[in-house]
Amino acid sequence: MSLPRRTFLRALGPGVGTIAILGPVIGQRKSKLHFPDAAKKILIAHRGASAYAPEHTLYSYRLALQQGADFVEQDLQITRDGQLVCLHDLTLERTTNVKDVFPKRYREEMVQGVAARRWFVSDFTLKEIKQLDAGSWFAPKFKGASVPTFQEAIALVRGKAGLYPETKAPEVYGRMGFDMERLLLDSLQKNQLGTPSSERHTPLIVQSFSAASLRKLSSLLPAKLPLVLLVNEEARGEWLTVAGLAEAKKFASGIGPAKALLDRGLVQQAHAHRLTVTPYTFRLSDKGQFRTLADEMSYYLYDLGVDALFTDNPDLFPRTKIGSRP
């Protein structure tokens, strides 16, 4: 049986848990954020509404809000001048026109025995990255979309939904002399986020594949912030066991496994350790044997009992149980 929404929020942290229980404080301006009731599940827009707009652009984030996302995800990278930007990859060539704008600014690396040219975020200043077109690769109508800073994402999302940043490859950036966790915490403090009072209008959850990053965040935080450990196939043996879940509970509030790694028993084990379960990623191109994507999401939410999920298609998220098993 899945955790009801109120329990899900309490498990994530004391600040988050007050949202659905207390609502807006009397005398304060009414928040624009409308949560579903305690029986509902949590919708995280994966890179925004990335099925319909270029991932990690303000277009994608804005559409996610329009489609009812409870949280909007931001993958974090660091520019050469130490600015947090929202981008999934360590490099720029997949989702921008960096090859055209800065044709000689690549690094050559061997990828599976083949030389490849790569344009790393960390080799460019924020000013340079802002010159890039991050929308045309997806569709011509998005030409001119830029890579947003984390600050721009905060400004757009706050008061309308929750923020769900990921510390992306923090060890890679650490070897370059950057402290991603400190940069993130400085940004949160600057914006007065991650506090019990801010959770009423802009809840915050931080995720990472790096247990070390989450441990560091846990030790740096003055108050408990919800932290979710992402788990891929490579790490399943380390974390998706009774011993692994017990260890994860020492520094995290939940786990975020690849959806193929989950079954009902694992969800129940995680809940027994008071860990929430948020699988990734649900999209039309990867619905397996299910008739529709909504059927697949419904199965994970209401049959397996997960508490939340990441999807590229926020508009298809089933707020109540539908469909059946494949």
Mean pLDDT per 10-residue run, the chain (326 residues)? 49 40 28 42 98 98 98 98 98 98 95 92 98 98 98 98 98 98 97 91 97 96 87 98 98 98 98 98 94 97 98 97 76
The single residue of 56, 88, 201, 271 carrying the catalytic annotation is 88
pLDDT at 33: 35
Is-catalytic flag, 46? yes
- CA-based nearest residue to 279, from 295, 266, 292: 266
Look at residue 42 and give its three-state secondary structure.
strand
The single residue of 46, 56, 201, 271 carrying the catalytic annotation is 46
Listed in sequence order, the residues at least 6 apart from 288 whose beta carbon sits closer than 8 Å to its beta carbon are: 296, 326
**Burial code of 230-251, b = ≥16 C-beta within 10 A, e = fewer?**
bbeeebbeebbeeebbebbbeb
Whether the model pTM is above 0.75: yes
pLDDT at 324: 59
DSSP string of 283-321, one letter each residue: -GGG-TT-SSHHHHHHIIIIII--SEEEES-GGG--SS-
Question: What residue ranges do the domains of the chain occupy?
Answer: 5-90+144-316
pLDDT at 10: 52
Paired residues of 310 in beta bridges: 44
Element (H or E) spanning 213, and its range?
helix 211-220
Is-catalytic flag, 273? no
Q: Tokens in use for 53?
A: 């707009």
Instruction: Report the top-level CATH class of 5-90+144-316.
Output: alpha beta
